[in-house]
């Protein structure tokens, strides 16, 4: 039966799209070979640099999902038989690993505790053992949205440097860009992989690579086949504001608007504080219900989402079904080995206090309706914090 009111999309992406971005996307499509488009493209390419916090990096925008952006990072930098260091720290890290293996890349996989961030000391040890420098890249996910755990990218960079290892550093920032602090230049990231539908507040459809000089140099000798994903082809056309094939013109209108909102109006520092504040309120709600936050290390709490463990014997899929059918709210599913065990509350993108309170109320009502053992008062704990709290951990 159709439901009145708005649908609450509380998965960790795609996120709800602000009305002003929807209006920007609805502008008439223009000639993607004309001067008006060239100006738009250059504004988008330049505008993404402060979001990645880079001045030296080159940004490439593909009409693609994050999976395409993953592939672009691999095929432009690596050759068949190359070895890379990757981490078993979540569902999306696992998908990126399987993609690398499908291209004939040899993956040295580091087992990880899914409830904690990647351990930089183990990264340093693994690289120190590789005295022949056979490992060509360290590839990790910044914010693993299947678990609600954010690894410390700056500390991993320090571990690579401490081992004096020349490996490229490639980072998936799909669910952290525009939500959590990410500093491409300061943290020495050679390739960052992102998408449009999370912190950038757009619909799905744009895959992003932000690429440093070291990775661009590696692309000159990389031997994996590439055509659609070629950085060289993109760079050649981008210099004049164009693309080697038809771009997602109307999404670029939205991207320009998102840049204005994030950088020029709210300011990235304020964006990060807003996400931290809302995330802390969500975590206080979970504790108020007497439930368990999946992430066990407070230093690695994700500010994009909160993953919540269901009590033993209670199925997250059935709970989410009740919440969707009765309260018109979509929550994130448990993925891979967390299926049936964890539900995820997304609180990223264009999101504010009242929206969070509505989402948490839906969760609390769903817990009651489904009969999940919990304490009342999670929403009240969030309200108390939001009413006058500041971000604390």
pLDDT at 83 over 80: yes
d(CA 113, CA 92): 14
Same domain, 43 and 106: yes
Same domain, 29 and 58: yes
Strand partners, 58: 211
Strand partners, 345: 306
CATH number, domain with residue 257: 3.40.640.10
Q: What angle do CA 108, 109, 115 make, to 5 degrees?
A: 155
- Within a domain: residue 154? yes
pLDDT at 393 over 80: no
CATH number, domain with residue 289: 3.90.1150.10
d(CA 353, CA 390): 13
The per-residue pLDDT for 388 is 77
| 262 C-beta neighbours (distance < 10 Å), count | 22
- Within a domain: residue 355? yes
The per-residue pLDDT for 1 is 65
Query: Domain boundary at 231, 264, 297, which?
Result: 264
Same domain, 146 and 273: no
The per-residue pLDDT for 170 is 99
Chain segment 325-337, per-residue pLDDT in tens: 999 999 999 999 9
The per-residue pLDDT for 159 is 98
Query: Domain boundary at 235, 264, 293, which?
Result: 264
d(CA 214, CA 309): 41
- Within a domain: residue 165? yes
Same domain, 196 and 279: no
Which residues are within 8 A (CB) of 338 and not within 5 positions of it... i.e. 6 or more apart? Answer: 91, 114, 146, 147, 294, 307
Same domain, 189 and 178: yes
For the range 185-191, what are the long-range contacts, defined as Cβ-Cβ under 8 Å and sequence gap of 24 or more?
Answer: 185/53, 185/54, 185/55, 185/56, 185/57, 185/212, 186/53, 186/154, 187/153, 187/154, 187/157, 188/157, 188/160, 188/161, 189/153, 189/157, 190/214, 190/215, 190/218, 191/73, 191/77, 191/215
Domain that holds residue 221: 19-264
| 287-291 average pLDDT score | 98
Virtual CA dihedral for 242, 247, 253, 259, nearest 10 degrees?
-70
Q: H or E segment at 66?
A: helix 66-75
- Within a domain: residue 339? yes
| 362-370 average pLDDT score | 98
Query: Domain boundary at 264, 284, 317, which?
Result: 264
Chain segment 207-264, per-residue pLDDT in tens: 999 999 999 999 999 999 999 999 999 999 999 999 999 999 999 999 999 999 999 9
Virtual CA dihedral for 305, 147, 66, 217, nearest 10 degrees?
110
Same domain, 241 and 329: no
The per-residue pLDDT for 2 is 73
Same domain, 258 and 294: no
- Within a domain: residue 334? yes
Same domain, 304 and 379: yes
- Name the band, by pLDDT with cuts 50, 70 and 90, for residue 3: confident
The percent of the chain in helix, strand and coil, each rounded to the nearest 5, is: 40, 15, 40
324 neighbors 336 (Cβ within 8 angstroms): no
Q: Name the nearest CA neighbour of 8 among 311, 272, 371, 328.
A: 328
d(CA 122, CA 159): 9
Same domain, 43 and 180: yes
Coil vs helix vs strand at 8: strand
Number of domains in the chain: 2
| 290-313 average pLDDT score | 98
Strand partners, 191: 170, 211
- Within a domain: residue 393? no
pLDDT at 67 over 80: yes
Same domain, 133 and 239: yes
Chain segment 27-63, per-residue pLDDT in tens: 999 999 999 999 999 999 999 999 999 999 999 999 9
- Within a domain: residue 392? no
Average pLDDT, the chain: 97
Same domain, 281 and 350: yes
- Within a domain: residue 73? yes
Same domain, 232 and 352: no
Buried b (16+ CB within 10 A) or exposed e, 155-194: bbbbbbeebebebbbbbbbbbbbbbbbbebeebbbbbbbb
């Amino acid at each position: 039966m159709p439901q009145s009111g708005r649908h609450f999309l509380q998965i960790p992406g795609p996120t709800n799209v602000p009305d002003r971005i929807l209006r920007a996307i609805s502008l008439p499509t223009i000639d993607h070979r004309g001067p008006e488009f060239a100006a738009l493209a250059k504004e988008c390419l330049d505008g993404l640099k402060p979001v990645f916090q880079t001045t030296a990096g080159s940004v490439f925008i593909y009409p693609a999902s994050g999976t395409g952006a993953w592939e672009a990072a691999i095929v432009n930098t690596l050759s068949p038989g190359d070895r890379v260091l990757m981490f078993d720290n979540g569902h999306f890290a696992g998908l990126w690993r399987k993609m690398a293996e499908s291209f004939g890349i040899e993956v040295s996989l580091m087992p990880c505790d899914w409830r904690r961030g990647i351990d930089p000391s183990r990264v340093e040890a693994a690289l120190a053992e590789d005295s022949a420098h056979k490992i060509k890249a360290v590839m990790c996910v910044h914010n693993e949205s299947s678990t609600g755990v954010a690894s410390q990218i700056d500390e991993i960079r320090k571990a690579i440097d401490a081992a004096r290892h020349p490996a490229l550093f490639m980072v998936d920032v799909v669910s952290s860009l525009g939500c959590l602090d990410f500093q491409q230049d300061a943290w020495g990231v050679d390739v960052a992989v992102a998408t449009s539908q999370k912190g950038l507040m757009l619909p799905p459809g744009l895959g992003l690579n932000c690429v440093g000089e070291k990775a661009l140099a590696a692309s000159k000798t990389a031997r994996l086949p590439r055509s659609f994903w070629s950085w060289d082809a993109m760079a050649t056309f981008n210099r004049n504001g164009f693309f080697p094939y038809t771009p997602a013109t109307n999404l670029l209108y939205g991207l320009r608007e998102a840049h204005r909102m994030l950088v020029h109006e709210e300011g990235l520092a304020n964006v990060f504080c807003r996400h931290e504040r809302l995330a802390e309120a969500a975590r206080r709600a979970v504790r108020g219900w007497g439930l368990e936050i999946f992430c066990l290390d407070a230093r690695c709490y994700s500010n994009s989402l909160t993953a919540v463990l269901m009590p033993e014997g209670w199925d997250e899929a059935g709970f989410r079904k009740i919440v969707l059918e009765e309260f018109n709210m979509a929550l994130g599913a448990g993925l891979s080995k967390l299926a049936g065990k964890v539900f995820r509350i997304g609180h990223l993108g264009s999101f504010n206090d009242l929206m969070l309170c509505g989402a948490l109320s839906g969760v609390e009502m769903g817990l009651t309706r489904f009969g999940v053992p919990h304490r009342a008062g999670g929403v009240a704990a969030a309200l108390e914090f939001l009413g006058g709290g500041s971000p604390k951990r």
